[in-house]
Structure 1
């Protein structure tokens, strides 16, 4: 039996004929409040459960010193997740924010304040955005060893858009506060 599409639901792609290409997505995960590892694992599971979002890799977990954060900030656990998706970048951003909210992320006016969970879109295919809501590629990721090192672990030959190989960017970045946690591992089901 063939399922007939619901005639009452209008599919915008059908109207425009636009195809959503499969894009490679790089997301950075971080937590320095509460149950840090549980928050990272929960984020991986929530993202993996997202329709049209296919996790292809999760990096090792790193413990990192806070960067440009208030003095009372504790160390972060960080990881990078790779995925393929047909979702538009704005929808991915909405999903990232929803996952953060599910883990009781509190937003404040304090830049880089401690947080239960941070989900950052680093790269979404070749998509570029300079909107307040969404900046792609991430404007500071190329300077952050806590993003570059786990990404390098997954894709040593990856290239940061317009800036070059992440291996070169990582080499030029101070990574003294980035420590691999061999005792921790994120799982994708």
Structure 2
């Protein structure tokens, strides 16, 4: 019988967003669901931020956050796990308007140093360098964080400085370290 080898844990960064059905509650529930992922440990989440929607669809502002997940799940398994969390929250991807309102949006932003242009797995996330609501929370954790193929977060921030973003204070938005065995 062949001996099973454990895969090494990888740091994955997850974008969290909502602008429907009590968005702060949706983001808080997403944090809890991320902490329950198998073979993973959610160890940090950013403050919540209000951001204006992108893409030209008239809609309410979004609540956004970013989470740092240490995981042994391969990226090809983590992404569907994120989609399942969205579906359990009530998201129906097939029925949505592109760039439209979302009950919950979980984006796999980074997965270690993996770079992929596969249609179902694009890493780093293709919009990462154009979104203040992603870069600002990443900078809260580490402004020197390297985005593979793009550079440090601190170097990318000036390009999104004009995007309006408001940090939300309060218990649901407090940056926190969370622990669960990986």
Secondary structure of the corresponding residue to residue 105 of structure 1:
coil
Shift of 1:171: 1.7
Q: Which has the larger radius of gyration?
A: 1
Q: What's the TM-score, normalizing by structure 1?
A: 0.85
Work out whether residues 115 and 148 of structure 2, in 8 Å CA contact, stay in contact via their aligned partners in 1: no
Partner residue of 1:176 out of 163, 166, 180: 163
The offset of 1:109, in angstroms, is 5.6
Aligned mates of 1:140, 1:89 — CA distance in 2: 18
Give TM-score scaled by structure 2 length: 0.88
In the alignment, structure 2 segments of 5+ residues that lack a partner are: none
| Aligned pairs, number | 175
- Matched residue, 1:146: 133
- 1:73-110 CA deviation, whole Å, 9 max, x = no partner? 11000000001111100110011000000110122362
Runs of 4+ in 1 over 4 A off after TM superposition: 186-189
For structure 1, which runs of at least 5 residues remain unmatched after alignment?
Answer: 1-6, 8-13
Superposed displacement of residue 43, structure 1: 0.8
Structure with bigger RCO (C-alpha 8 Å, 6+ apart): 2
How far apart, CA to CA, are the structure 2 residues paired with 1:135 and 1:123?
9
| Change over 3 Å in CA distance of 1:94–1:124 after alignment to 2 | same
For residues 51 and 106 of structure 2, the distance between their equivalents in structure 1, rounded to whole angstroms, comes to: 16
Alignment-derived partner of residue 46 in structure 1: 33
Instruction: Give 1:70 shift.
Output: 1.0
Partners of 1:103 and 1:134 in 2: CA distance: 22
Instruction: Show the counterpart of 1:10.
Output: none
The secondary structure found in structure 2 opposite 1:25 is strand
